[in-house]
Structure 1
Amino acid sequence: MPASPREEDVLTARELYRFYRAGEEETLALRGVSLRVRRGETVAVVGPSGSGKSTLLGCLAGLDEPSGGEVRVDGVRISHRPETERARLRALHIGVLLQTRNLLPHLSVRDNVRLPQRAAGRKPVTSARELLAQVGLGERMDALPRQLSGGELARAGLAVSLANSPAVLLADEPTGELDGETERMVLAMLRDRAAQGCAVLIVTHSAEVVRSADRVIALEDGRTTAATAPAGGAVPAEVSDATG
């Protein structure tokens, strides 16, 4: 990867390493991964199970600390800081969209969106009511997650990830359990966010997601093995037409 960030690079990672130890056993989950995502760009990260994709996303989001290397968002280093500082920076700069666990079950959809807005400690650019209206859930604001359909849950999770108008949106298999129509709807919303200047990185096994990306980064055994522009080209072998 290029050694120096450019002005339009919103997310940069340099030489990320992540080691796990269990007794005398050591697992190398990431082995010197570097990447960058520009403003308005959508990047798909693909690779077989166990290749380090979710570990990479956790380090990029500040949910996990790399054993070596650093992550910067909008020029601000978020790695190698106390968890409280990482949480504050994540609330200010990063939206995280997970396949599951994006919503707290005991809170209404509106309160789930308000929660990260309060954590950021500043007045939100877009209110929870407005965000939910944008994703088609204006009439479901007071519903609990268990009262939502699969498609509604996906849209509610997206609203939570966009609560603070993040510079970077990181998504981990966001369409893995969705039907084709709902997947296309979520992808359309992600593309719209990128068009507004957000840097979007998606960890995925979905061929549809890969086709919609500007670039594809492939991981294998904790290392980047390729970076390609799909733009109507072939889908990498690591990706199947199944969304799981």
Structure 2
Amino acid sequence: MSAPAETAETSSPHHELALEARELYRFYRSGEEETLALRGVGVRVRRGETVAVMGPSGSGKSTLLACLAGLDEPDGGAVHIAGERISHRPENERARVRARRVGVLLQSDNLIAHLDVRANVRLARSAASGTDRPAADELLDQVGLAHRSRALPQELSGGELARAGLAVALANGPDVLLADEPTGELDGATEQQVLELLRSRAGEGRGVLLVTHSPRAIQVADRVIALRDGRVQP
């Protein structure tokens, strides 16, 4: 049975939150035209929870993920990761918070082309500090890529690229993992494998948020947030 659609807010105590965003607004101007991409969106993700964000093209999903990851700045509202504010700070400070606390899995371009898989994971791992960072070889083994550790990105299949990107996103031992259509180009068996890996990370106490159109991804989520025209739908 698929998870029921809910509003973004929950009653979770603050100390259990991996991610909290309140009243996010984002607008873009082109000449005299103004587009409101986000209109007062609030999101909470508890530790150990998997949340799916769904909605039609142009609903604000990718803009929301970029703001949550500190890759873009909201025009209003604020984003906190594990209690630390990432929004409305200089880019170098947002990058430091992201390196310590956030794993980001995009639809493509998760790997540096001239580095092999193991070097990509080690580079992401080196950007963070602390003892909760898994070793590169351990991560690659967990995602089933130990035998491909010396392969360059262009030598990987689509499924291998998705799993390698996930290993990179997890290399810093993040508090929250944000994934944009993580299974969009995968066959059914590989999609299921990646979703199981994501769920296992939530089981370790991380928060997981997926932007997705996939029915399978929605089924593994604890909650579903529906966006339309930049607003959370009831």
Query: If the length of structure 2 is used for normalisation, what is the TM-score?
Result: 0.93
Which residue, 73, 77, 82 being the options, matches 1:74? 82
Q: In structure 2, what is the Cα distance between the partners aligned to 1:143 and 1:157? A: 13
State the AA in 2 paired with 1:70.
Answer: A
5 Å-filtered alignment, 1:1-244, equals 1=9, 6-122=14-130, 125-226=133-234
Q: Is the 8 A contact 1:39 1:197 kept in 2?
A: yes
Question: Deviation per CA, 1:48-78, whole angstroms, max 9, x where unpaired?
Answer: 0000000000000000000010000110000
Question: Deviation per CA, 1:130-173, whole angstroms, max 9, x where unpaired?
Answer: 11111111111111011111111111011000001111000000
1:7 shift after superposition: 2.4
- Runs (4+) of structure 1 exceeding 3 A deviation are 1-5, 121-124
State the AA in 2 paired with 1:186.
Answer: V
Q: In structure 2, what is the Cα distance between the partners aligned to 1:145 and 1:95? A: 19
Q: In structure 2, what is the Cα distance between the partners aligned to 1:153 and 1:217? A: 27
Residue 241 of structure 1 corresponds to: none
State the AA in 2 paired with 1:57.
Answer: L
Stretch deviating more after TM superposition (123-132 or 40-49): 123-132
Q: Is the 8 A contact 2:176 2:208 kept in 1?
A: yes
What residue ranges of structure 2 are gaps of 5+ in the alignment?
1-8
The alignment partner of 2:67 has SS state of helix
> Would you say how many aligned residue pairs link Structure 1 and Structure 2?
226
Q: In structure 2, what is the Cα distance between the partners aligned to 1:38 and 1:196? A: 12
Q: In structure 2, what is the Cα distance between the partners aligned to 1:123 and 1:107? A: 25
Q: Is the 8 A contact 1:5 1:36 kept in 2?
A: no
Residue 5 of structure 2 corresponds to: none
Q: 1:19 to 1:95 in 2, by over 3 A?
A: same
Q: Is the 8 A contact 2:15 2:82 kept in 1?
A: no
The alignment partner of 1:120 has SS state of coil
Q: In structure 1, what is the Cα distance between the partners aligned to 2:74 and 2:218? A: 26
Q: Alignment RMSD, CA only? A: 1.4
1:6 shift after superposition: 2.7
Percent identity over the alignment is: 68
